[in-house]
Chain A
Amino acid sequence: MIKAQYERPIIQRLNVGLMNKYGTKTEFNPVTHIDGNAVKELMETYGSPLFVLSEKTIRQTYKDATRAFKTRYPKVQFAWSYKTNYINAVCNVFHQEGSWAEVVSGFEYLKALHNNVPGDKIIFNGPDKKEVDLKLAIEHGSLIHIDHLDELYMIKELVAGGTKRPRVAIRVNMDTGIYPMWDRFGFNYEDGQAWDAINKIMLSGQMDLVGLHCHIGTFMLTPNAYGVAASKLSQLALSVMKKFKKKIEYIDLGGGFASKNTLKGSYIQGIDVSPTFDQYAEAISTSILNAGFTEDSLPLLILESGRALIDEAGYLLGSVISNKRLSDGRRATILDFGVNILFTSFWYDHKISPAQHFGQYSEDTVLYGPLCMNIDVVREHISFPPLKKDDQVVVHTVGAYNMTQWMQFIAMRPAVIMIDMDEKPHLIRKRETINSIQDEEVMPLYLEKFKIS
């Protein structure tokens, strides 16, 4: 006799007329394959948990973004924001598509050089550029975006008496109607600091002011804020031209475009509220084109988008460790990954799908990670089918920041694979081993040999 298929019994109270805070039903449509590869097989081969990147999605998203801008503005250049995901294979997909590199530390700078990005196509941002980093950047003719006066003076000292003229820009912060204002970084526009810094650079005679930069925030849901930023940077560029007869080569509007994730606590799914590349492009290009540049003085437009270009291409696969019932009756499912490797679950209600088929029944569930800590919550509320031990799940839209901000806490960080354009998987970062951690440790001799008495 063939036995009937079994599904764990569930019962759920129906809340008539109440807003459903447990997400939409589509969340539990199973995802059994990613770019033609069975989730189950990928986990058999590479282990659980596992990060998966879709090269197809990266390239497609990049093409969508560049199309949106290039059809509206004549000169556009993207620079890949290394901190968003600096696994070399990922960087090289962007570089192959034509992207420059945008780095914020000496470590990231070396990574870009290692990936054969020409020095003059590396943008060096951030408040913590060390003297050695700056020397290297000057040497390679990179675009140094000055964050504060101390940095400006350090560069002046480094080039004094030499022949190299560093190519610099300043980072500008400003009021774009978005709060909180990111005024920790760069020179303020409204109070004249930015104009002062420009004057110091121009009058020093030692540096080439080639650009103006800003990064007004991240996950920005109002395209118009970029319109305001573009117009303020344009005004600065025009003032430089007027006073010093010097053309500003580029305006760099930084990153911050929203991905399709859902911000925590939002009832509306990210996919329904995040602006499209077209909306951002429209606001920006309209501002620059109307700022008063002559056609031959139009600056190059640089964009440092991170999350919007890679979030959708990333998945995290994992497995169920156990189920529990909380004292308030909610089901709790414990997964083999938590906030240690899915850092972005602090910001987002990530969409999570089961990796196998279920009936149409679901239960209000809390998804926890395996860390022995209360903060380790992957989803506070999700309407989820009855998963059992060893069932598998797919977390969506995790390509940005997780593979750089992940923590090595009580376990090793998982492997990362990329599925290529022909749907073939490639290992791009190995699962860590105990040696990845132990190799960096040093034992003082006197603690080396002893017996527990």
Chain B
Amino acid sequence: MKFKKNIALSDSGFIFDPTTGDSFNTNPVGLEIVQMLKQDNTPQEISAYFLKNYAVDESTFEKDLYDFINMLSKFKLTEHNEKEKN
């Protein structure tokens, strides 16, 4: 799973997909996750970063991250590489 490279991100959490014309907004935690995904961080790396820097416990964050990544994929903001598909 990868965040699509051509998607525009603003610092305020505005997301624009030029291929579909769809736009989205996300909150600061969501924005940070998207930025880390864009830089090819794995979910494990993202979790480690959040647990270290935010007042959140592991199970809550994992639930939320899983759900958030699901939403990104639902909104077609991610692409899957061949390996993951199999």
- The interface of chain A, by Cβ under 8 A from chain B, is 3-14, 16, 323, 325, 329, 359, 361, 386, 388
Contacts and interface: CB of A to CB of B under 8 A. Distances in A.
A185 B50 CA distance: 65
Nearest to B64: A8
Contacts of A359: 27-28
Contacts of A4: 53-55
B28 A7 contact: yes
A16 B25 CA distance: 12
A3 B28 contact: no
Interface in B25-75: 25-30, 33, 50, 53-56, 60-61, 64-65, 67-68, 70-72, 74-75
Q: How large is the interface on B (under 10, 10 to 19, 20 to 34, 35 or more residues)?
A: 20 to 34
B55 A9 contact: no
Given A14-B24, A16-B23, A329-B74, A9 B29 contact: yes
Given A3-B53, A6-B55, A12 B70 contact: no
Contacts of B53: 3-4
A11 B55 contact: no
Contacts of B30: 9-11, 361
B55 A5 contact: yes
Given A4-B53, A5-B54, A11 B24 contact: yes
Nearest to A362: B27
Contacts of A323: 67
Nearest to A2: B55
A325 B74 CA distance: 12
Given A3-B55, A5-B55, A361-B27, A13 B75 contact: yes
A323 B66 CA distance: 13
B23 A11 contact: no
Contact of A7 (B15, B27, B70, B71): B27
Contacts of B64: 8-9
Nearest to A324: B67
Interface of B: 13, 15, 22-30, 33, 50, 53-56, 60-61, 64-65, 67-68, 70-72, 74-75
B27 A6 contact: no
Given A14-B24, A325-B67, A361-B30, 16 more contacts: A3-B53, A4-B53, A4-B55, A7-B28, A7-B29, A9-B26, A9-B30, A10-B68, A11-B72, A11-B75, A13-B75, A325-B70, A329-B74, A359-B27, A361-B25, A388-B60
A386 B26 CA distance: 12
Contacts of B27: 7, 9-10, 359, 361, 386
B29 A14 contact: no
13 contacts: A3-B53, A4-B53, A5-B54, A6-B55, A9-B33, A11-B26, A11-B30, A11-B68, A16-B23, A325-B71, A329-B71, A361-B13, A361-B27
A11 B71 contact: yes
Given A4-B54, A5-B55, A325-B70, A12 B29 contact: no
Nearest to B77: A11
A363 to B, nearest CB: 9
Nearest to B15: A11
Contacts of B26: 9-12, 361
Contacts of B28: 7, 359
B57 to A, nearest CB: 9
A447 B49 CA distance: 62
A10 B67 CA distance: 9
A404 B71 CA distance: 42
B55 A13 contact: no
A406 B76 CA distance: 44
B71 A6 contact: no
Given A11-B72, A13-B75, A329-B71, A6 B23 contact: no
Contacts of A3: 53-55
Contacts of A10: 26-27, 30, 68
Contacts of A5: 54-55
Given A3-B54, A325-B70, A9 B15 contact: no
Contacts of B67: 323, 325
A4 B51 CA distance: 10
A25 to B, nearest CB: 13
